[in-house]
Amino acid sequence: MPIATSTVYSVSSYKSPSQFPPYVWDALSSAERAANIVLPHALKYCEKEQLDGQYWIVCTTPENPHSPAVDFILSCTEGPLGTYPIFIFTTIPSPQLTSSYASPRIRGMARELHRLVPKERVFSVFAPEPITIMFADWWCRLTGISLAHNPEYYAATFSHCTRDTFINRRMTYVPGMSYNIRPAVEKDQAAIARLCKAFAATSEPFLLSDGAAWREADMLIRNKQIWVHEISEGGCAVDIASIAAYTRNSDHVAAITKVYTNPRWRKRGCAERLVRAVTQHLLKTKESVVLYVSHGNPAAKVYDKVGFVGLRGDAENFRGVDRWLELGFDPEATTLGHW
């Protein structure tokens, strides 16, 4: 059934998640997988009364005065390496998301954001595909800033794996190879920094300097959010072949946010072996593990073999497997952040 087409809505902004009414937290927790970006960031900052330059914008439709229906939550926040893109979460399932309902609400949120922050702050937006397109259109109209020359920074499928879909298969042993999969420790920092920088090089425009890659590696290790796949061939020195990081966690959901294999060690099953081990570890305490995989990325086959759903061209068969899109705005008129 399509959603209602009410034109009555309200937009509110908050300087800290500590100011959220209970119904906002209820909306986030009741759609914990879909809210995986916005919810973990809100949890991280919920004890702070105000955050300079950071905002959450909530769009609601009145159902009753005490608990309106939350339609959208927009976050404008910062991370350890810079400002984040604009992220937008919706409670509305993609098949029910009509332009006539969503577009005026997205416009209202864009207007509120324009009131709150300098227009150069908004360098990109990442959300379910139709929401991203609507927001980008309204933002360009409001600010006069155009999209980047190549605006599609990231187009991906949002997938998930649960204990029911997880595939625990034994992989073929490669003679002469030895493997070890484990949480990263301090002595791994240099190798992890190199792989973080190489990963970022595949994710333009979000490149990392040597110093930023070193800081990211240090943060991931200290927070115990990264595992490594060690490998040795023919008795030679052990090398770190792959890394897998998981940095957005809430009560029942964890997200694998970075997977990268040194080109030297590809075609040996390292990524599949590591992602399976990390996913199995996370599912000991979480109900779901989520990740984004870019369209056309051969890694989709790896994640499919581990049990992440909707990656065989069958996304419509799985609730919550959606197309997400990041569009970038003119880099000459905005200040690039990082995520």
- Which pair of structure tokens corresponds to residue 322? 């959606």
Edge-to-edge, what's the strand order for the sheet holding 69-76? 10-14, 55-61, 69-76, 86-90, 124-128, 322-329, 147-162, 288-294, 253-261, 239-249, 226-233, 177-183
C-alpha distances in Å from residue 291, one per residue of 13, 201, 243, 308, 332: 28, 19, 15, 8, 31
Q: Where do the CATH 3.40.630.30 domains begin and end in the chain?
A: 177-308
pTM above 0.85, yes or no: yes
pLDDT one digit per residue (tens) for the chain, 339 residues: 344 556 799 999 999 999 999 999 999 999 999 999 999 999 999 877 777 889 999 999 987 667 899 999 999 999 999 999 999 999 998 888 899 999 999 999 999 999 999 999 999 999 999 999 999 999 999 999 999 999 999 999 999 999 999 999 887 777 888 999 999 999 999 999 999 999 999 999 999 999 999 999 999 999 999 999 999 988 789 999 999 999 999 999 999 999 999 999 999 999 999 999 999 999 999 999 999 999 999 999 999 999 999 999 899 899 999 999 999 999 999 999 999
Q: Which two tokens stand for residue 314?
A: 């069958």
Residue 94 and residue 117: Cα distance in Å, rounded?
29
Question: What 3-state DSSP class applies to 199?
Answer: helix
Q: Which fold has domain 177-308?
A: Aminopeptidase (3.40.630)
Q: Are 57 and 113 in contact (CB under 8 A)?
A: yes
How, if at all, do strands 86-90 and 124-128 pair?
Answer: parallel
Find the DSSP H helices in 57-128.
Answer: 99-116
Q: Which CATH class is domain 10-157+324-329?
A: alpha beta
